[in-house]
Amino acid sequence: MTATQRRTQIVELLRGRGYINANELSEMFLVDGSTIRRDLSILEKTGKIIRTHGGLLPAQDAASGDTPYNVRRNLNVQEKTAIALAALRDIEDGQSIILDNGSTVFQLAVALKARKNITVITNDLMTAMQLSQHPSITLHVAGGVMLNNVYTLVGPDTTRKFEHLHVDWAFLGAEGVHFQGGITNINTVEIPVKQSMIAAAERTVVLADSSKVGYQALSHVCALSAIERVITDNRRPIKNESKYGDKLLIVEA
């Protein structure tokens, strides 16, 4: 990967996640801290990021004043809500589902109050908190180690939880969706967890706003053929849309 490609991925990661710190970037891209600091200095000078105490924000969100998780969750809310409502139509009362981490999947957790007697298994602590408010939902939270700033549990304990399950649906987040590259993620430590979620489910749906479609992130999760479909929004034109075949469901946002 060239320095230019790495910097492009850093900006895209920030747009999708809303916040990250420099140490995480160093681990993700397998480069030393001085290399990341050089990248961030260039990105800051060109107006693409804002460096804050403890981390980074996308330039357009620098004045929001939100905490890191809320910055991420409040990006593209209209699109994410439309995607979540489309996903909700797949779920019937009495079914079992896996909810991955991610702000778009979080919106599906918010919408689940419209269903009854649902069993949910998640590795996202904020999603778990949201679902704990609904008495008709039976909630299981996977164990593991929490990733800084994103409230996501990962590691062997998390993976083992999903390896011993069989559910009707899995709803995954993604940082990249590409007709050739499939589903990708910037953070390699989450890959085994996502793959175990897919293996546990009868059907898997990826929820990703249109900024993620056409992009390939650092780490491969699965091919498009491994999932039922990707639900996305119509706010941005999708290049090579026809090449996704019937895997892409585009909803109006």
Taking only the tens place, the pLDDT of each residue in 174-213 is 989 999 999 998 877 889 999 999 999 999 999 999 989 9
d(CA 75, CA 56): 15
The answer to whether 207 and 87 are in contact (CB under 8 A) is yes
The answer to whether 221 and 182 are in contact (CB under 8 A) is yes
28-37 as b/e: b if 16+ CB within 10 A: bbebeeeebe
**DSSP E strand stretches across 137-200:** 137-141, 145-147, 152-154, 167-173, 176-178, 182-185
Name the nearest CA neighbour of 147 among 190, 176, 88, 90: 190
What is the dihedral angle through the alpha carbons of 196, 200, 201, 205, rounded to the nearest 10 degrees? -10
Per-residue pLDDT tens over the stretch 221-250: 999 999 999 999 999 889 999 999 999 999
pLDDT, residue 178, reads 96
Residue with token string 């895997």:
247
Per-residue pLDDT tens over the stretch 14-29: 766 656 788 889 888 9
The answer to whether 158 and 143 are in contact (CB under 8 A) is yes
Per-residue pLDDT tens over the stretch 142-153: 998 887 667 899
pLDDT, residue 59, reads 67
d(CA 25, CA 36): 7
The answer to whether 82 and 253 are in contact (CB under 8 A) is yes
pLDDT, residue 18, reads 59
d(CA 141, CA 121): 6
Indicate the pTM of the whole model.
0.74
The answer to whether 188 and 216 are in contact (CB under 8 A) is no
- Secondary structure element (H or E) that encloses residue 221, with its range: strand 219-222
pLDDT, residue 50, reads 76
d(CA 172, CA 76): 17
- CA distances 181 to 3, 40, 66, 178, Å, are 21, 27, 33, 5
For the chain, the average pLDDT equals 88
What 3-state DSSP class applies to 157?
helix
The answer to whether 198 and 170 are in contact (CB under 8 A) is yes
Tell me 116's DSSP state: S
